[in-house]
Structure 1
Protein backbone atom coordinates (compact mmCIF):
# COMPACT_ATOMS: atom_id res chain seq x y z
CA UNK A 1 0.00 0.00 0.00
CA UNK A 2 1.26 3.48 -0.89
CA UNK A 3 0.10 4.81 2.49
CA UNK A 4 2.83 2.74 4.13
CA UNK A 5 5.51 4.96 2.57
CA UNK A 6 6.51 8.53 3.40
CA UNK A 7 7.97 8.67 -0.12
CA UNK A 8 7.15 6.36 -3.02
CA UNK A 9 8.21 6.99 -6.62
CA UNK A 10 7.36 4.94 -9.70
CA UNK A 11 9.43 5.18 -12.89
CA UNK A 12 10.60 8.66 -11.91
CA UNK A 13 12.61 10.12 -14.78
CA UNK A 14 14.07 13.53 -15.66
CA UNK A 15 15.63 14.45 -19.00
CA UNK A 16 17.49 17.65 -19.80
CA UNK A 17 18.02 18.23 -23.54
CA UNK A 18 18.68 14.58 -24.27
CA UNK A 19 20.61 13.94 -21.05
CA UNK A 20 18.86 11.63 -18.57
CA UNK A 21 19.61 12.95 -15.07
CA UNK A 22 17.25 10.56 -13.24
CA UNK A 23 16.40 7.25 -14.86
CA UNK A 24 13.28 5.19 -14.00
CA UNK A 25 13.72 5.38 -10.23
CA UNK A 26 11.44 3.40 -7.92
CA UNK A 27 12.22 4.72 -4.46
CA UNK A 28 10.49 3.70 -1.22
CA UNK A 29 11.14 5.38 2.13
CA UNK A 30 9.22 4.44 5.27
CA UNK A 31 7.80 7.03 7.65
CA UNK A 32 10.22 8.01 10.42
CA UNK A 33 13.34 6.94 8.53
CA UNK A 34 16.51 8.91 7.98
CA UNK A 35 17.41 7.96 4.43
CA UNK A 36 20.87 8.79 3.11
CA UNK A 37 21.37 9.45 -0.59
CA UNK A 38 24.90 8.72 -1.80
CA UNK A 39 26.55 9.17 -5.18
CA UNK A 40 29.26 11.08 -7.04
CA UNK A 41 28.69 14.51 -8.54
CA UNK A 42 26.42 14.19 -11.55
CA UNK A 43 24.71 11.04 -10.28
CA UNK A 44 21.31 12.77 -10.16
CA UNK A 45 20.88 13.24 -6.40
CA UNK A 46 20.02 16.95 -6.53
CA UNK A 47 17.60 16.49 -9.45
CA UNK A 48 15.85 13.67 -7.59
CA UNK A 49 15.51 15.75 -4.43
CA UNK A 50 14.22 18.75 -6.40
CA UNK A 51 11.50 16.59 -7.94
CA UNK A 52 10.55 15.25 -4.50
CA UNK A 53 10.31 18.86 -3.28
CA UNK A 54 8.06 19.82 -6.23
CA UNK A 55 10.76 22.25 -7.38
CA UNK A 56 11.34 20.30 -10.61
CA UNK A 57 8.79 18.72 -12.96
CA UNK A 58 9.46 15.05 -13.76
CA UNK A 59 9.68 14.10 -17.42
CA UNK A 60 7.66 11.05 -16.50
CA UNK A 61 6.81 8.94 -13.49
CA UNK A 62 4.85 9.52 -10.30
CA UNK A 63 5.66 10.71 -6.77
CA UNK A 64 3.54 9.93 -3.71
CA UNK A 65 4.05 11.62 -0.35
CA UNK A 66 2.33 9.73 2.48
CA UNK A 67 0.05 8.08 -0.08
CA UNK A 68 -1.00 11.28 -1.90
CA UNK A 69 0.14 12.06 -5.44
CA UNK A 70 2.57 14.99 -5.55
CA UNK A 71 1.90 17.47 -8.35
CA UNK A 72 3.46 20.88 -9.01
CA UNK A 73 0.11 22.54 -9.64
CA UNK A 74 -2.19 24.00 -6.97
CA UNK A 75 -4.36 20.89 -6.63
CA UNK A 76 -3.03 19.99 -3.19
CA UNK A 77 -1.49 23.02 -1.42
CA UNK A 78 -1.65 21.34 2.00
CA UNK A 79 0.62 18.58 0.77
CA UNK A 80 3.44 20.99 -0.07
CA UNK A 81 3.20 22.43 3.44
CA UNK A 82 4.15 19.00 4.74
CA UNK A 83 7.51 19.30 2.96
CA UNK A 84 10.63 21.05 4.19
CA UNK A 85 13.33 21.50 1.53
CA UNK A 86 16.87 22.72 2.15
CA UNK A 87 18.79 23.03 -1.14
CA UNK A 88 22.56 23.21 -1.16
CA UNK A 89 22.61 26.81 -2.42
CA UNK A 90 19.69 28.55 -0.70
CA UNK A 91 20.65 32.22 -0.10
CA UNK A 92 20.46 33.95 3.27
CA UNK A 93 19.57 37.63 3.64
CA UNK A 94 22.74 38.89 5.30
CA UNK A 95 21.37 42.29 6.35
CA UNK A 96 18.49 40.82 8.41
CA UNK A 97 18.64 39.68 12.01
CA UNK A 98 18.16 36.00 12.78
CA UNK A 99 14.73 36.67 14.28
CA UNK A 100 13.52 38.85 11.37
CA UNK A 101 14.68 36.28 8.84
CA UNK A 102 12.74 33.46 10.49
CA UNK A 103 9.71 35.64 11.06
CA UNK A 104 9.66 36.54 7.36
CA UNK A 105 9.39 32.88 6.40
CA UNK A 106 6.89 32.16 9.15
CA UNK A 107 4.67 34.88 7.64
CA UNK A 108 5.09 33.32 4.18
CA UNK A 109 3.67 30.10 5.66
CA UNK A 110 0.76 32.10 7.12
CA UNK A 111 1.49 31.18 10.73
CA UNK A 112 -0.76 33.31 12.93
CA UNK A 113 1.00 35.71 15.35
CA UNK A 114 0.66 33.60 18.51
CA UNK A 115 1.83 30.42 16.79
CA UNK A 116 4.52 32.33 14.93
CA UNK A 117 6.24 33.66 18.05
CA UNK A 118 6.11 30.30 19.83
CA UNK A 119 7.43 28.49 16.77
CA UNK A 120 10.34 30.92 16.29
CA UNK A 121 11.39 30.38 19.88
CA UNK A 122 11.15 26.59 19.46
CA UNK A 123 13.29 26.40 16.34
CA UNK A 124 15.90 28.83 17.67
CA UNK A 125 16.27 26.68 20.76
CA UNK A 126 16.47 23.53 18.65
CA UNK A 127 19.25 24.87 16.41
CA UNK A 128 21.05 26.44 19.39
CA UNK A 129 20.76 30.03 18.13
CA UNK A 130 18.47 31.53 20.79
CA UNK A 131 21.31 33.80 21.97
CA UNK A 132 21.80 35.03 18.37
CA UNK A 133 18.23 36.13 17.72
CA UNK A 134 19.22 39.81 17.43
CA UNK A 135 22.45 39.16 15.49
CA UNK A 136 22.84 40.25 11.88
CA UNK A 137 23.14 37.16 9.70
CA UNK A 138 26.34 38.38 8.05
CA UNK A 139 28.10 38.12 11.44
CA UNK A 140 27.30 34.41 11.89
CA UNK A 141 29.75 31.58 11.29
CA UNK A 142 29.16 29.15 8.42
CA UNK A 143 27.89 26.50 10.83
CA UNK A 144 25.45 28.95 12.43
CA UNK A 145 24.19 30.03 9.01
CA UNK A 146 23.53 26.41 8.07
CA UNK A 147 21.66 25.79 11.32
CA UNK A 148 19.63 28.94 10.64
CA UNK A 149 18.80 27.60 7.17
CA UNK A 150 17.58 24.39 8.78
CA UNK A 151 15.46 26.40 11.22
CA UNK A 152 13.88 28.20 8.26
CA UNK A 153 13.22 24.82 6.61
CA UNK A 154 11.29 23.45 9.60
CA UNK A 155 9.55 26.64 10.74
CA UNK A 156 6.18 25.39 9.39
CA UNK A 157 6.52 21.95 11.10
CA UNK A 158 6.82 19.73 8.02
CA UNK A 159 6.60 15.96 8.38
CA UNK A 160 9.09 15.28 5.55
CA UNK A 161 12.49 16.96 5.38
CA UNK A 162 14.61 16.99 2.20
CA UNK A 163 18.22 18.07 2.78
CA UNK A 164 20.66 18.43 -0.11
CA UNK A 165 24.31 18.42 1.07
CA UNK A 166 23.50 20.23 4.35
CA UNK A 167 26.94 19.69 5.93
CA UNK A 168 29.00 20.65 2.88
CA UNK A 169 31.93 22.82 3.92
CA UNK A 170 31.26 22.57 7.65
CA UNK A 171 34.00 21.82 10.16
CA UNK A 172 33.80 18.68 12.35
CA UNK A 173 32.23 20.51 15.31
CA UNK A 174 29.57 22.15 13.12
CA UNK A 175 28.80 18.79 11.51
CA UNK A 176 28.42 17.21 14.94
CA UNK A 177 25.97 19.95 16.00
CA UNK A 178 24.00 19.43 12.79
CA UNK A 179 23.86 15.65 13.34
CA UNK A 180 22.50 16.18 16.86
CA UNK A 181 19.68 18.34 15.49
CA UNK A 182 18.80 15.75 12.83
CA UNK A 183 18.60 13.05 15.51
CA UNK A 184 16.20 15.19 17.55
CA UNK A 185 13.99 15.74 14.49
CA UNK A 186 13.93 12.00 13.80
CA UNK A 187 12.99 11.27 17.41
CA UNK A 188 10.10 13.71 16.97
CA UNK A 189 8.78 11.50 14.15
CA UNK A 190 10.00 13.39 11.10
CA UNK A 191 11.01 11.51 7.94
CA UNK A 192 14.32 12.82 6.59
CA UNK A 193 16.06 12.33 3.25
CA UNK A 194 19.61 13.66 3.30
CA UNK A 195 22.31 13.64 0.63
CA UNK A 196 25.94 14.05 1.59
CA UNK A 197 29.50 13.28 0.53
CA UNK A 198 30.46 12.89 4.20
CA UNK A 199 29.66 9.20 4.44
CA UNK A 200 30.75 8.89 8.07
CA UNK A 201 27.95 11.32 8.98
CA UNK A 202 25.39 9.30 7.03
CA UNK A 203 26.56 6.06 8.62
CA UNK A 204 25.93 7.59 12.05
CA UNK A 205 22.57 9.15 11.17
CA UNK A 206 20.79 6.94 8.66
CA UNK A 207 18.51 3.96 8.99
CA UNK A 208 18.63 3.31 5.23
CA UNK A 209 20.69 4.44 2.26
CA UNK A 210 20.32 4.70 -1.49
CA UNK A 211 23.26 4.77 -3.87
CA UNK A 212 22.94 6.59 -7.21
CA UNK A 213 25.13 6.17 -10.30
CA UNK A 214 24.52 7.94 -13.63
CA UNK A 215 20.88 8.61 -12.81
CA UNK A 216 20.09 5.08 -11.63
CA UNK A 217 19.30 4.01 -8.08
CA UNK A 218 21.71 1.07 -8.00
CA UNK A 219 21.15 0.17 -4.35
CA UNK A 220 18.50 0.92 -1.75
CA UNK A 221 18.44 -0.93 1.55
CA UNK A 222 18.52 -0.56 5.30
CA UNK A 223 21.98 0.21 6.62
CA UNK A 224 22.04 -3.01 8.63
CA UNK A 225 21.15 -5.09 5.56
CA UNK A 226 23.78 -3.31 3.49
CA UNK A 227 26.48 -4.01 6.07
CA UNK A 228 25.41 -7.64 6.38
CA UNK A 229 25.40 -8.21 2.62
CA UNK A 230 28.32 -6.12 1.40
CA UNK A 231 30.61 -5.33 4.32
CA UNK A 232 33.45 -7.77 4.94
CA UNK A 233 34.59 -8.51 8.45
CA UNK A 234 38.12 -7.43 9.22
CA UNK A 235 40.48 -8.08 12.11
CA UNK A 236 43.14 -5.63 13.23
CA UNK A 237 46.18 -7.49 14.59
CA UNK A 238 49.29 -6.20 16.31
CA UNK A 239 52.34 -8.13 17.45
CA UNK A 240 55.67 -7.53 19.18
CA UNK A 241 58.06 -8.12 16.34
CA UNK A 242 57.04 -11.65 15.29
CA UNK A 243 55.32 -10.65 12.05
CA UNK A 244 56.60 -13.59 9.97
CA UNK A 245 55.33 -16.11 12.54
CA UNK A 246 51.98 -14.32 12.68
CA UNK A 247 51.62 -14.36 8.90
CA UNK A 248 52.49 -18.06 8.81
CA UNK A 249 49.75 -18.77 11.34
CA UNK A 250 47.25 -16.74 9.32
CA UNK A 251 48.00 -18.77 6.18
CA UNK A 252 46.88 -21.89 8.04
CA UNK A 253 43.44 -20.46 8.89
CA UNK A 254 40.71 -21.27 6.36
CA UNK A 255 38.73 -18.11 7.13
CA UNK A 256 41.59 -15.69 6.41
CA UNK A 257 41.26 -14.36 2.87
CA UNK A 258 43.92 -11.70 2.56
CA UNK A 259 45.74 -9.19 4.73
CA UNK A 260 47.59 -5.95 4.34
CA UNK A 261 50.27 -4.20 6.35
CA UNK A 262 49.08 -1.06 8.11
CA UNK A 263 51.15 2.14 8.23
CA UNK A 264 51.88 1.60 11.92
CA UNK A 265 54.69 -0.82 12.67
CA UNK A 266 53.82 -4.49 13.35
CA UNK A 267 50.09 -4.18 12.56
CA UNK A 268 47.95 -6.06 10.03
CA UNK A 269 44.42 -5.69 8.68
CA UNK A 270 43.00 -9.13 7.91
CA UNK A 271 39.96 -9.83 5.70
CA UNK A 272 38.11 -12.58 7.53
CA UNK A 273 35.09 -14.62 6.37
CA UNK A 274 34.32 -16.47 9.60
CA UNK A 275 31.77 -15.88 12.34
CA UNK A 276 32.36 -14.69 15.92
CA UNK A 277 33.26 -18.19 17.09
CA UNK A 278 35.79 -18.43 14.28
CA UNK A 279 37.35 -15.15 15.41
CA UNK A 280 37.63 -16.55 18.93
CA UNK A 281 39.22 -19.73 17.59
CA UNK A 282 41.76 -17.70 15.61
CA UNK A 283 42.67 -15.66 18.67
CA UNK A 284 43.09 -18.85 20.73
CA UNK A 285 45.34 -20.44 18.07
CA UNK A 286 47.58 -17.37 17.91
CA UNK A 287 47.99 -17.32 21.68
CA UNK A 288 48.75 -21.05 21.75
CA UNK A 289 51.38 -20.44 19.07
CA UNK A 290 53.08 -18.13 21.58
CA UNK A 291 52.68 -15.07 19.33
CA UNK A 292 52.94 -11.92 21.50
CA UNK A 293 49.78 -10.07 20.44
CA UNK A 294 49.39 -6.41 21.32
CA UNK A 295 46.07 -5.97 19.52
CA UNK A 296 43.19 -8.12 18.26
CA UNK A 297 39.81 -6.60 17.42
CA UNK A 298 37.12 -7.16 14.81
CA UNK A 299 35.66 -4.38 12.65
CA UNK A 300 33.35 -4.12 9.64
CA UNK A 301 34.14 -2.32 6.39
CA UNK A 302 32.59 1.13 6.60
CA UNK A 303 30.00 2.80 4.37
CA UNK A 304 32.65 4.56 2.28
CA UNK A 305 34.31 1.23 1.46
CA UNK A 306 30.95 -0.27 0.47
CA UNK A 307 30.22 2.73 -1.75
CA UNK A 308 33.60 2.51 -3.49
CA UNK A 309 33.18 -1.24 -3.92
CA UNK A 310 29.76 -0.81 -5.55
CA UNK A 311 31.10 1.98 -7.76
CA UNK A 312 33.88 -0.30 -8.95
CA UNK A 313 31.36 -3.05 -9.73
CA UNK A 314 29.26 -0.62 -11.77
CA UNK A 315 32.31 0.60 -13.68
CA UNK A 316 33.36 -2.93 -14.57
Structure 2
Protein backbone atom coordinates (compact mmCIF):
# COMPACT_ATOMS: atom_id res chain seq x y z
CA UNK A 1 0.00 0.00 0.00
CA UNK A 2 1.39 3.41 -1.01
CA UNK A 3 1.26 5.89 1.84
CA UNK A 4 0.12 9.45 1.25
CA UNK A 5 2.88 12.04 1.34
CA UNK A 6 2.46 15.04 3.64
CA UNK A 7 5.46 16.76 2.01
CA UNK A 8 7.08 16.24 -1.37
CA UNK A 9 9.66 18.52 -2.95
CA UNK A 10 11.21 18.23 -6.40
CA UNK A 11 14.51 19.96 -7.18
CA UNK A 12 13.89 22.56 -4.48
CA UNK A 13 16.52 25.29 -4.62
CA UNK A 14 16.91 28.67 -2.92
CA UNK A 15 19.63 31.09 -4.00
CA UNK A 16 20.46 34.41 -2.35
CA UNK A 17 22.56 36.30 -4.93
CA UNK A 18 25.60 34.01 -5.32
CA UNK A 19 24.89 31.91 -2.23
CA UNK A 20 22.85 28.70 -2.65
CA UNK A 21 21.19 28.01 0.71
CA UNK A 22 19.15 24.97 -0.42
CA UNK A 23 20.41 22.97 -3.37
CA UNK A 24 18.22 20.62 -5.47
CA UNK A 25 16.42 19.00 -2.53
CA UNK A 26 14.14 16.03 -3.22
CA UNK A 27 12.33 15.33 0.03
CA UNK A 28 9.46 12.97 0.82
CA UNK A 29 7.74 12.80 4.22
CA UNK A 30 4.87 10.39 4.74
CA UNK A 31 1.67 11.40 6.52
CA UNK A 32 1.84 10.80 10.28
CA UNK A 33 5.64 10.86 10.52
CA UNK A 34 7.81 12.82 12.91
CA UNK A 35 10.69 13.81 10.64
CA UNK A 36 13.87 15.18 12.22
CA UNK A 37 16.02 17.58 10.23
CA UNK A 38 19.61 17.85 11.41
CA UNK A 39 22.77 19.53 10.18
CA UNK A 40 25.32 22.15 11.22
CA UNK A 41 24.56 25.87 11.29
CA UNK A 42 24.34 27.20 7.73
CA UNK A 43 23.32 23.81 6.27
CA UNK A 44 20.02 25.21 4.94
CA UNK A 45 17.55 23.76 7.46
CA UNK A 46 15.80 27.03 8.32
CA UNK A 47 15.58 28.12 4.67
CA UNK A 48 14.08 24.75 3.72
CA UNK A 49 11.50 24.98 6.52
CA UNK A 50 10.64 28.58 5.58
CA UNK A 51 9.95 27.51 1.99
CA UNK A 52 7.73 24.64 3.17
CA UNK A 53 5.89 27.14 5.40
CA UNK A 54 5.29 29.51 2.42
CA UNK A 55 7.39 32.16 4.21
CA UNK A 56 10.11 32.03 1.53
CA UNK A 57 9.77 31.74 -2.25
CA UNK A 58 11.86 28.98 -3.88
CA UNK A 59 14.22 30.02 -6.66
CA UNK A 60 13.41 26.83 -8.55
CA UNK A 61 11.67 23.53 -7.80
CA UNK A 62 8.26 22.40 -6.62
CA UNK A 63 6.62 21.87 -3.23
CA UNK A 64 3.57 19.65 -2.66
CA UNK A 65 1.73 19.70 0.68
CA UNK A 66 -0.66 16.74 1.02
CA UNK A 67 -0.70 16.45 -2.77
CA UNK A 68 -1.44 20.14 -3.46
CA UNK A 69 1.22 22.09 -5.34
CA UNK A 70 2.39 25.33 -3.82
CA UNK A 71 1.97 28.07 -6.44
CA UNK A 72 4.63 30.79 -6.65
CA UNK A 73 3.57 34.43 -6.18
CA UNK A 74 0.21 33.31 -4.74
CA UNK A 75 -1.01 33.31 -1.16
CA UNK A 76 -1.84 29.54 -1.18
CA UNK A 77 -4.65 29.90 1.42
CA UNK A 78 -5.68 26.21 1.33
CA UNK A 79 -2.14 25.05 2.08
CA UNK A 80 -1.62 27.68 4.79
CA UNK A 81 -4.72 26.50 6.66
CA UNK A 82 -3.16 23.03 6.90
CA UNK A 83 0.18 24.32 8.20
CA UNK A 84 1.41 25.23 11.66
CA UNK A 85 4.81 26.95 11.58
CA UNK A 86 6.94 27.74 14.64
CA UNK A 87 10.11 29.70 13.71
CA UNK A 88 13.06 29.71 16.08
CA UNK A 89 12.70 33.42 16.94
CA UNK A 90 8.97 34.11 17.03
CA UNK A 91 8.18 37.04 19.39
CA UNK A 92 5.48 36.84 22.07
CA UNK A 93 3.29 39.75 23.12
CA UNK A 94 4.50 40.03 26.71
CA UNK A 95 1.78 42.44 27.91
CA UNK A 96 -1.09 40.05 26.99
CA UNK A 97 -2.43 37.27 29.16
CA UNK A 98 -2.05 33.67 28.00
CA UNK A 99 -5.78 33.45 27.21
CA UNK A 100 -5.93 36.76 25.30
CA UNK A 101 -2.86 35.84 23.26
CA UNK A 102 -4.34 32.52 22.12
CA UNK A 103 -7.77 34.08 21.60
CA UNK A 104 -6.20 36.72 19.35
CA UNK A 105 -4.68 34.05 17.08
CA UNK A 106 -7.84 31.95 17.13
CA UNK A 107 -9.72 35.00 15.82
CA UNK A 108 -7.07 35.57 13.14
CA UNK A 109 -7.72 32.01 11.98
CA UNK A 110 -11.46 32.83 12.02
CA UNK A 111 -12.45 30.28 14.63
CA UNK A 112 -16.03 31.08 15.67
CA UNK A 113 -17.84 30.52 18.94
CA UNK A 114 -18.50 28.13 20.57
CA UNK A 115 -15.65 26.27 18.86
CA UNK A 116 -13.12 29.04 19.61
CA UNK A 117 -13.47 28.85 23.40
CA UNK A 118 -13.57 25.05 23.28
CA UNK A 119 -10.34 25.00 21.24
CA UNK A 120 -8.58 27.39 23.64
CA UNK A 121 -9.41 25.08 26.56
CA UNK A 122 -8.17 22.04 24.57
CA UNK A 123 -4.82 23.60 23.73
CA UNK A 124 -4.24 25.00 27.20
CA UNK A 125 -4.82 21.53 28.64
CA UNK A 126 -2.46 19.96 26.10
CA UNK A 127 0.38 22.39 26.87
CA UNK A 128 -0.36 22.24 30.62
CA UNK A 129 -0.90 25.98 31.05
CA UNK A 130 -4.57 25.96 32.06
CA UNK A 131 -3.66 27.33 35.50
CA UNK A 132 -1.78 30.21 33.82
CA UNK A 133 -4.59 31.32 31.51
CA UNK A 134 -4.94 34.72 33.25
CA UNK A 135 -1.20 35.28 33.76
CA UNK A 136 0.74 37.87 31.79
CA UNK A 137 3.11 36.27 29.28
CA UNK A 138 5.96 38.35 30.77
CA UNK A 139 5.67 36.30 34.00
CA UNK A 140 6.11 32.91 32.31
CA UNK A 141 9.30 30.82 32.32
CA UNK A 142 11.14 30.20 29.04
CA UNK A 143 9.75 26.67 28.81
CA UNK A 144 6.18 27.91 29.36
CA UNK A 145 6.64 30.59 26.70
CA UNK A 146 7.85 27.98 24.23
CA UNK A 147 4.84 25.77 24.96
CA UNK A 148 2.58 28.79 24.51
CA UNK A 149 4.22 29.46 21.13
CA UNK A 150 3.45 25.88 20.16
CA UNK A 151 -0.17 26.34 21.30
CA UNK A 152 -0.46 29.38 19.02
CA UNK A 153 0.95 27.27 16.17
CA UNK A 154 -1.68 24.53 16.56
CA UNK A 155 -4.72 26.61 17.54
CA UNK A 156 -6.30 26.20 14.08
CA UNK A 157 -5.80 22.38 14.08
CA UNK A 158 -3.24 22.08 11.28
CA UNK A 159 -2.39 18.66 9.87
CA UNK A 160 1.29 19.51 9.24
CA UNK A 161 3.53 21.08 11.86
CA UNK A 162 6.88 22.73 10.98
CA UNK A 163 9.08 23.37 14.04
CA UNK A 164 12.43 25.14 13.70
CA UNK A 165 14.68 24.56 16.75
CA UNK A 166 11.75 24.46 19.21
CA UNK A 167 13.79 23.24 22.20
CA UNK A 168 16.71 25.63 21.76
CA UNK A 169 17.82 26.99 25.13
CA UNK A 170 15.37 24.92 27.18
CA UNK A 171 16.43 23.03 30.29
CA UNK A 172 16.06 19.21 30.42
CA UNK A 173 12.67 19.28 32.20
CA UNK A 174 11.24 21.83 29.74
CA UNK A 175 12.57 19.72 26.84
CA UNK A 176 10.92 16.60 28.28
CA UNK A 177 7.57 18.44 28.61
CA UNK A 178 7.87 19.65 25.01
CA UNK A 179 8.65 16.10 23.81
CA UNK A 180 5.54 14.75 25.53
CA UNK A 181 3.38 17.33 23.73
CA UNK A 182 4.94 16.42 20.35
CA UNK A 183 4.21 12.74 21.01
CA UNK A 184 0.58 13.56 21.82
CA UNK A 185 0.25 15.56 18.59
CA UNK A 186 1.67 12.67 16.55
CA UNK A 187 -0.72 10.24 18.23
CA UNK A 188 -3.55 12.60 17.20
CA UNK A 189 -2.49 12.08 13.57
CA UNK A 190 -0.40 15.16 12.89
CA UNK A 191 2.67 15.08 10.61
CA UNK A 192 5.60 16.90 12.21
CA UNK A 193 8.89 18.17 10.76
CA UNK A 194 11.27 19.29 13.49
CA UNK A 195 14.81 20.65 13.28
CA UNK A 196 17.04 20.52 16.34
CA UNK A 197 20.63 20.40 17.53
CA UNK A 198 19.56 18.21 20.48
CA UNK A 199 19.99 14.89 18.71
CA UNK A 200 19.03 12.77 21.73
CA UNK A 201 15.56 14.39 21.63
CA UNK A 202 15.20 13.63 17.92
CA UNK A 203 16.31 10.02 18.40
CA UNK A 204 13.53 9.60 20.97
CA UNK A 205 10.84 11.43 18.95
CA UNK A 206 11.43 10.81 15.26
CA UNK A 207 10.40 8.09 12.87
CA UNK A 208 12.71 9.40 10.09
CA UNK A 209 15.75 11.64 9.84
CA UNK A 210 17.07 13.99 7.15
CA UNK A 211 20.64 15.28 7.26
CA UNK A 212 21.60 18.51 5.49
CA UNK A 213 25.09 19.66 4.56
CA UNK A 214 25.89 22.86 2.61
CA UNK A 215 22.34 23.09 1.24
CA UNK A 216 22.13 19.44 0.13
CA UNK A 217 19.93 16.77 1.69
CA UNK A 218 22.69 14.17 2.00
CA UNK A 219 20.64 11.55 3.84
CA UNK A 220 16.95 10.84 4.30
CA UNK A 221 15.78 7.56 5.78
CA UNK A 222 13.77 6.02 8.58
CA UNK A 223 15.58 6.04 11.91
CA UNK A 224 15.53 2.24 11.89
CA UNK A 225 17.21 2.05 8.45
CA UNK A 226 19.77 4.65 9.48
CA UNK A 227 20.77 2.64 12.55
CA UNK A 228 20.88 -0.64 10.60
CA UNK A 229 23.07 0.85 7.89
CA UNK A 230 25.36 3.21 9.75
CA UNK A 231 25.41 2.42 13.48
CA UNK A 232 28.13 0.12 14.71
CA UNK A 233 27.41 -2.27 17.56
CA UNK A 234 29.28 -1.39 20.73
CA UNK A 235 30.04 -3.23 23.94
CA UNK A 236 30.57 -1.45 27.27
CA UNK A 237 32.97 -3.56 29.30
CA UNK A 238 34.13 -3.17 32.93
CA UNK A 239 36.66 -5.26 34.85
CA UNK A 240 38.15 -5.44 38.33
CA UNK A 241 41.36 -6.87 36.88
CA UNK A 242 44.26 -5.45 34.86
CA UNK A 243 43.15 -3.57 31.78
CA UNK A 244 46.11 -4.83 29.72
CA UNK A 245 44.86 -8.42 30.18
CA UNK A 246 41.49 -7.38 28.72
CA UNK A 247 43.15 -5.64 25.78
CA UNK A 248 45.33 -8.67 25.12
CA UNK A 249 42.17 -10.82 24.91
CA UNK A 250 40.36 -8.28 22.69
CA UNK A 251 43.28 -8.25 20.23
CA UNK A 252 42.77 -11.99 19.67
CA UNK A 253 39.11 -11.59 18.70
CA UNK A 254 38.57 -11.09 14.93
CA UNK A 255 35.27 -9.19 15.32
CA UNK A 256 36.70 -6.54 17.64
CA UNK A 257 37.44 -3.49 15.48
CA UNK A 258 38.72 -0.94 18.01
CA UNK A 259 38.28 0.14 21.61
CA UNK A 260 38.60 3.23 23.76
CA UNK A 261 38.93 3.89 27.47
CA UNK A 262 36.04 5.59 29.22
CA UNK A 263 37.51 8.22 31.55
CA UNK A 264 37.78 7.68 35.29
CA UNK A 265 37.28 3.91 35.46
CA UNK A 266 38.32 0.48 34.27
CA UNK A 267 35.73 0.71 31.49
CA UNK A 268 36.14 0.18 27.78
CA UNK A 269 33.87 0.93 24.84
CA UNK A 270 34.47 -1.73 22.16
CA UNK A 271 33.36 -1.40 18.53
CA UNK A 272 32.21 -4.84 17.52
CA UNK A 273 31.07 -6.16 14.13
CA UNK A 274 29.43 -9.37 15.37
CA UNK A 275 25.84 -10.26 16.26
CA UNK A 276 24.37 -11.17 19.66
CA UNK A 277 25.76 -14.72 19.50
CA UNK A 278 29.23 -13.36 18.78
CA UNK A 279 28.88 -11.00 21.78
CA UNK A 280 28.11 -14.00 23.96
CA UNK A 281 31.21 -15.80 22.58
CA UNK A 282 33.40 -12.78 23.42
CA UNK A 283 32.07 -12.70 26.99
CA UNK A 284 32.71 -16.45 27.34
CA UNK A 285 36.32 -16.05 26.14
CA UNK A 286 36.95 -13.23 28.64
CA UNK A 287 35.62 -15.33 31.53
CA UNK A 288 37.63 -18.38 30.40
CA UNK A 289 40.73 -16.14 30.46
CA UNK A 290 40.01 -15.49 34.19
CA UNK A 291 39.21 -11.82 33.62
CA UNK A 292 36.88 -10.54 36.40
CA UNK A 293 34.17 -8.92 34.26
CA UNK A 294 31.79 -6.72 36.29
CA UNK A 295 29.79 -5.24 33.39
CA UNK A 296 29.27 -6.35 29.81
CA UNK A 297 26.40 -4.98 27.76
CA UNK A 298 25.75 -4.47 24.08
CA UNK A 299 24.58 -1.13 22.81
CA UNK A 300 24.54 0.82 19.56
CA UNK A 301 26.10 4.05 18.33
CA UNK A 302 23.76 6.94 18.95
CA UNK A 303 22.41 9.45 16.44
CA UNK A 304 25.11 11.96 17.32
CA UNK A 305 27.87 9.46 16.43
CA UNK A 306 26.15 8.67 13.11
CA UNK A 307 25.81 12.38 12.33
CA UNK A 308 29.49 13.08 13.08
CA UNK A 309 30.55 10.04 11.05
CA UNK A 310 28.47 11.20 8.05
CA UNK A 311 29.90 14.71 8.41
CA UNK A 312 33.45 13.34 8.19
CA UNK A 313 32.46 11.23 5.17
CA UNK A 314 31.05 14.32 3.37
CA UNK A 315 34.16 16.38 4.20
CA UNK A 316 36.61 13.75 2.92
Cα deviation per residue 1:191-219 (whole Å; 9 max; x = unaligned)? Answer: 00000000000000000000000000000
State the match for 1:196 in structure 2: 196
Query: 1: CA distance between counterparts of 2:104 and 2:18?
Result: 40
1:76 offset after TM fit, Å? 4.2
Query: 2: CA distance between counterparts of 1:142 and 1:265?
Result: 38
1:3 offset after TM fit, Å? 7.5
C-alpha contact (below 8 Å) 2:3/2:31 kept by paired residues = no
1:98 offset after TM fit, Å? 0.2
The answer to whether structure 1 residue 259 and structure 2 residue 236 are counterparts is: no
Root-mean-square deviation over aligned CA pairs? 1.3
Query: 2: CA distance between counterparts of 1:50 and 1:7?
Result: 13
**TM-score, structure 1 as length reference:** 0.98
Paired residue secondary structure (1:91): coil
Cα deviation per residue 1:25-62 (whole Å; 9 max; x = unaligned)? Answer: 00000000000000111000000000000000000000
State the match for 2:22 in structure 1: 22
C-alpha contact (below 8 Å) 2:106/2:116 kept by paired residues = yes
State the match for 2:181 in structure 1: 181
State the match for 1:220 in structure 2: 220
Query: 1: CA distance between counterparts of 2:138 and 2:146?
Result: 12
1:242 offset after TM fit, Å? 2.3
State the match for 2:56 in structure 1: 56
The answer to whether structure 1 residue 12 and structure 2 residue 12 are counterparts is: yes
Runs of 4+ in 1 over 6 A off after TM superposition: none
C-alpha contact (below 8 Å) 1:255/1:273 kept by paired residues = yes
The answer to whether structure 1 residue 312 and structure 2 residue 306 are counterparts is: no
State the match for 1:146 in structure 2: 146
1:4 offset after TM fit, Å? 2.1
State the match for 1:232 in structure 2: 232
Cα deviation per residue 1:282-308 (whole Å; 9 max; x = unaligned)? Answer: 111111111100110011110011111
How many residues matched?
Answer: 316
**TM-score, structure 2 as length reference:** 0.98
State the match for 1:242 in structure 2: 242
1:16 offset after TM fit, Å? 0.3
